[in-house]
Structure 1
Amino acid sequence: MPQAQWSAKRERQYEHIKSSLKQRGKSTDTAEEIAARTVNKERAQHGESKTANPKTLHDTPAPVRGGKRSHQGAQGRTREQLYEEARRKGIAGRSKMNKAELERAVGR
């Protein structure tokens, strides 16, 4: 259990996500990291954490979203995700770009 403040429900959720990822071929370290991030985001969205990123609070929860942002298919990543990648890469003029322009700029 990575976090002492997790409830029994969150611990079960963590173990379930971790085992599912390992079955899909992810390494133990990667599975643990993804599971912990997922559980912490769920906790933040449900008001169980002291602090949370505003984007996390306004984002659609994963169970509701149902894989709509799996980085595959026509929609792919959101504009906000593309914008953050453009910011990390230092792409100029990103604030005025739409989603299609950001996709071209970040090269994916």
Structure 2
Amino acid sequence: MPDAWSDKDERQYQHIKQQMRDDGKTNDEAEEIAARTVNKRRQQQGRTDNATPQGSGNPNTPLPERTRQELYNRAKQLSIAGRSNMNKEQLVNAIRQRQNG
């Protein structure tokens, strides 16, 4: 358990991890998804140092279901020019073009 996590965060992590294992995910996948979920909740509640998410979202989540910030972070990873001026739909399209092209 990371130092910043509360006991409640740890219980949520264990519960989500078990759900993912029950859904057929590997232990590593389940741990990653559970940690990302708990950390995202902590960030949304303002209990982290970062004001905005630093990740690009769960890779199993379809692009349109991710937040604009997650899409922006993914576009940054892919070095997509003009990403700061793009809306969510434009980011989805640009990421799809880069990944498929």
Please state which band the TM-score falls in when normalised by the shorter chain: 0.5 to 0.7
Distance 2:46 2:72 in 1: 26
Deviation at 1:31, TM superposition (A): 0.9
What do you get for the CA RMSD once the two structures are aligned? 2.5
Q: 1:82 matched to which residue of 2?
A: 71
Relative contact order, CA 8 A, sep 6+: which one is greater? 2
Paired residues of 2:16 and 2:34 also in contact (CA < 8 A): yes
Aligned runs of 1:62-73 on 2, under 5 Å? 70-71=61-62
Deviation at 1:26, TM superposition (A): 0.8
Deviation at 1:13, TM superposition (A): 1.4
Give the number of aligned pairs: 90
1:38 aligns with 2:37: yes
Deviation at 1:33, TM superposition (A): 2.1
Distance 1:39 1:28 in 2: 16
TM-score, normalised by the number of residues in structure 1 = 0.63
Q: 1:53 matched to which residue of 2?
A: 50
TM-score, normalised by the number of residues in structure 2 = 0.67
1:101 aligns with 2:98: no
Please identify the structure whose Cα radius of gyration is greater: 1
Counterpart amino acid of residue 54 in structure 1: A
Can you give the 5+ residue segments of structure 2 that lack an aligned partner in the other structure?
54-60
